[in-house]
Amino acid sequence: MGTTAETIAALKKTLGDSLCVVGHHYQQESVITHCDITGDSLELARKVADITAPHIVFCGVYFMAESAALLARPGQQIYLPETAANCVMSQMTPATRVNEVLERLNAAGRNVVPLAYVNTSLAVKAVVGRFGGAVCTSANARTMLRWALEQGDSVLFLPDKNLGRNTARELGLDASQWRILDIRRKSDAADAPEDIRERLLLWPGCCAIHAKFTPEQIRAMREAHPDCLVAVHPECSPEVVQAADAAGSTAFLIKYAAQAPQDSTVVIGTETNLVERLRARHAGHHTVARLHRAYCSHMAKVTEDKLLTTLQHIRAGIAQPVSIPSAHRAPARASLERMLEACRKAGV
């Protein structure tokens, strides 16, 4: 019997054009090596629509597979090698609470339009869709926040307060124009909706991975490598983003590392699997270093062995696809389609 990698390769050859394996950049190298398509959230959302294979295996976390299932063609099935691969940030936004907060805010007489980061559950995307809102990614957050600000009186950006604040600053909104909401259930703790007049309302969530990066780490890297360039993901705090030389989506960070001068040192602040991949890719030309060790434990739940099991189940006809509740399908899809349409119009 061959190795796991050899067995996967053989199964992929047997399944042929009926299979497409998709992977997010934060996956382990042992998984990425088997992926036919890789990308960040925006890239993968766009590419799913062009896949013709009836079986799509999504190597990522659950909300990504849900989004792929929403955008899949009739007859296509989406499979996730590990259904327990979730997202801490996504879990900070229970759909019922999002719905309650939006109802409360809009009952006060203002038109509050929700803008949900793609790192949210299908149920949250459905709530957002019902309130006329859309989804965004780190790559198109600026475009989508501008779009949302044009739709109503205020925007509720959720769940990542850091991406929301960093994007707002790019658009020229200062701190006087935003508010981090108190979304606790106790009536004496929650914000009084009649007192809220800010244009941007922020859900108090964050990414557990990017929250590990600090301005002190950047200062330490600059002391060790005086001429280094530092680029970070906009899920980092505003203080980290301001201390860095550049900030942008996963796709931006990949391009930033690729364009670095020979013999330079580029420090990247994002998930470590990607940073290590960039380090190997550019070895011999320039140095790519991680700002700090930061692995996503949920992404790591998708393994080469679990990918193999999924492919075996597809071949045997017993694989369980990602299921989309019928009540959520139309509004959740609407939130995704509004994003794709707004980006098409903006040329993003």
Q: Average pLDDT for residues 160-188, to the nearest whole number?
A: 88
Backbone angles phi, psi at 68, to 5 degrees: -65, -40
Q: Average pLDDT for residues 43-57, to the nearest whole number?
A: 87
List all residues 6 or more positions away from 275 whose beta carbon is below 8 Å from its beta carbon.
268, 288, 289, 290
pLDDT (0 to 100) of residue 270? 96
Tell me what the pLDDT averaged over the chain comes to: 92
Sketch out the chain's domains with CATH numbers.
Answer: 4-85+299-317 (3.40.50.10800), 89-206+330-346 (3.40.50.10800), 210-290 (3.40.50.10800)
Distance between CA atoms of residues 61 and 65, nearest Å: 7
Summarised one tens digit per residue, pLDDT across range 98-152 is: 999 999 999 888 899 999 998 899 999 999 999 999 999 998 999 999 999 999 9
Q: Average pLDDT for residues 180-203, to the nearest whole number?
A: 76
pLDDT (0 to 100) of residue 70? 87
